[in-house]
Amino acid sequence: MLSVLSIKNFALIERLEIDFSNHFTIITGETGAGKSILLGALGLILGKRADLSSLKAKDEKCVIEAHFQIGAYNLKPLFENLDIDYEETTIVRREILPSGKSRAFVNDSPVNLSALQDLGVALIDIHSQHQTQELSDEIYQIQILDAVANNSSILSEYQRALSIFKKGQTQLKSLQTEQADWIKERDYHTFMSEELFQAQLKAGEQEVLESDYEKLNNIEFVKEALSKSWSLLNEDQIGVNTALKEVRTALQRIAGFSSDFKELFERIHSVEIELNDVTNEMELQTEALVHNPEQLRAIDEKLQLIYALQKKHQVQSIAELLVIESELNEKLFSGSDLDTRIDKLLKDLKSQEDALKDLGAQLTQKRKEAVPVLQEKLLELLRLLGMPNAAFQFEIKPNKSFLNNGMDDLQLLFSANKGIDFGLLKKVASGGELSRIMLAIKAILTQYSHLPTIIFDEIDTGVSGEIADKMGVIMQRMSQKMQVLSITHLPQIAAKGDHHYKVFKTTVDDSTTSQLVLLNDEERIVEIAQMLSGKDISESALVHAKELLNK
């Protein structure tokens, strides 16, 4: 239950702290006094978005803090799912900074608005006037049936299965799109891969071919250079080898005189050996050079193929072409594997679909079983609320689609009087009738839910007199199982509360603020009398107020 609400610098409130008690609490006040501000503050606690217009003093931060006693409501699993520290006295705080930034905390740990909204649903149900229209919403109507049918565990299992099924459908669509794209590109990829395969490319091959091509394409020039070089080395009179031999012979004669001369001799000898080896290699290279137009043409053709492939694939080397060939082969292989993956996924989806249909059927059956139970309870409460001839028809029809809440379409038909045809609730029920029906439903739901707190914001719109008194009785009964707060303009309801707060505005030095006070017994008599007769309280109004409070 909500035990403390603290508000600082919010709308017309400078600073306010309210200690709430359990059971039935009434909040009254003139229109515009600030009752909606309290709901706005609670809305921030429950995760609604905030803006700078909420600040009374624009240069100070706004702080809303609420304390909840939740030890009896089995909310620890929810806290664990939201990764929030659990405390039996849980403190929720919202701060709006002058910069416009908003922060939220639960038990002093920062949380995002999504977590705060999920937590808020389990803490408070705020029922405002416009929410009466929820009665006309099919999803809300099914939620009512599910509560009475105790469908929460089956519905959770169904929704988990539906989430997995939808992910599978998304995956299937993605695979089928991938397969369609692969089929479109298969022939092209196959051609490209085959073209690269037929080229029989090898790493480093291009450099060897280019070298061989240059050698064969310039064979006469190369031969001439090699022959000339060989001649310069080996001519009898002026050849380098001949001169080198003479140098070696001269140094050999003096090598024994000094280690320095010996080292010179050895170095010249090494040069002579190396030069002889070079000469022999020149001779071999010259002999190997044979004019071969066919070989030259073959090398040229292979190089032109390599250059063409590089240009087509916009790369500079054979290594990059080999990478592209590997990637094309992988695409072709993965495409051929798509059929197998799609077939397996289709089988999985069929199994998941069968399981969903079974869970949907269970939900449908339990909803049908809950209809007479809900009807009986509704009609009993509506008779108490002055609608003795009200009647409902719940038409549950199968839907072939998997909806988030099952496989049912629901039409809630209503007739307020005997002899009047049934019609859609939203079309045939008046505002006052909708208010009474909603109160009856909320009263029924308290028997099946473990919600700590419910707040009614002028649910009594459109009713008065004896009916208002009965609405107060029902809210009073509800408060035996949960904390009930009612913002009301009706004295009949106000008199049923265990605690009574009044909201009022004061103006000091051109500054208007809203305040809230807990009324004592005498103040409460005056407040209810004023609700009965206006600002000029008559004696009869005071008597009537006392009668209502003692009723």
Q: Which residues contact 149 (CB under 8 A, 6 or more apart)?
A: 366, 367, 369, 370
**Does pLDDT of 389 surpass 90?**
yes
The residue whose two tokens read 């993956």 is 341
pLDDT confidence band for 522 (50 / 70 / 90): very high
pLDDT value, residue 79 = 92
Give the closest residue to 301 by CA, choosing from 209, 205, 195, 219.
Answer: 209
Higher local confidence (pLDDT), 446 or 493: 493
The residue whose two tokens read 């909803």 is 367
Per DSSP, the three-state class of 100 is coil
The rounded distance, in Å, linking the Cα atoms of 449 and 150 is: 9
Q: How far is CA 514 from the centre of its chain?
A: 39
pLDDT value, residue 30 = 85
pLDDT, one tens digit per residue, over 465-495 is: 888 899 999 999 999 989 999 999 899 999 9
**Does pLDDT of 90 surpass 90?**
yes
pLDDT value, residue 297 = 84
**Does pLDDT of 333 surpass 80?**
no
**Does pLDDT of 236 surpass 70?**
no
pLDDT confidence band for 131 (50 / 70 / 90): low
Per DSSP, the three-state class of 97 is coil
Residue pair 363/154 in contact (Cβ under 8 Å)? The answer is yes
pLDDT value, residue 66 = 95
Q: Write out 454-500 in H/E/C secondary structure.
A: EEEECCCCCCCHHHHHHHHHHHHHHCCCCEEEEECCCHHHHCCCCEE
Q: Where does 1-123+452-518 sit in CATH, by number?
A: 3.40.50.300
Q: Domain coordinates of the chain in residue numbers?
A: 1-123+452-518, 179-336
The rounded distance, in Å, linking the Cα atoms of 315 and 309 is: 8
Q: Residues 435-461: what's their mean pLDDT?
A: 86
Q: Residues 180-201: what's their mean pLDDT?
A: 78
Structure tokens at 140: 């809300």
The rounded distance, in Å, linking the Cα atoms of 155 and 500 is: 40
**Does pLDDT of 187 surpass 70?**
no
pLDDT confidence band for 324 (50 / 70 / 90): confident
Q: Residues 372-400: what's their mean pLDDT?
A: 93
**Does pLDDT of 171 surpass 90?**
yes
Residue pair 54/79 in contact (Cβ under 8 Å)? The answer is no
Per DSSP, the three-state class of 361 is helix
Phi, psi of 12 (to 5 degrees): -90, 5
Look over the chain and give the mean of its residue pLDDT values, rounded to a whole number: 87
Q: Residues 398-409: what's their mean pLDDT?
A: 94
pLDDT confidence band for 547 (50 / 70 / 90): very high
Residue pair 269/162 in contact (Cβ under 8 Å)? The answer is no
Q: Residues 439-447: what's their mean pLDDT?
A: 89
The rounded distance, in Å, linking the Cα atoms of 350 and 346 is: 6
Residue pair 453/2 in contact (Cβ under 8 Å)? The answer is yes
Query: What is the pTM assigned to this prediction?
Result: 0.67
Centre a 10 Å sphere on the Cβ of residue 524 and count the other Cβ atoms it contains.
Answer: 22
> Which residues sit opposite 78 in a β-bridge?
none
Q: Is the dihedral of CA 257, 258, 263, 268 positive or negative?
A: negative
The rounded distance, in Å, linking the Cα atoms of 178 and 188 is: 16
pLDDT value, residue 334 = 66
pLDDT value, residue 161 = 95
Higher local confidence (pLDDT), 144 or 36: 144
pLDDT value, residue 205 = 86
pLDDT, one tens digit per residue, over 352-362 is: 999 999 999 99
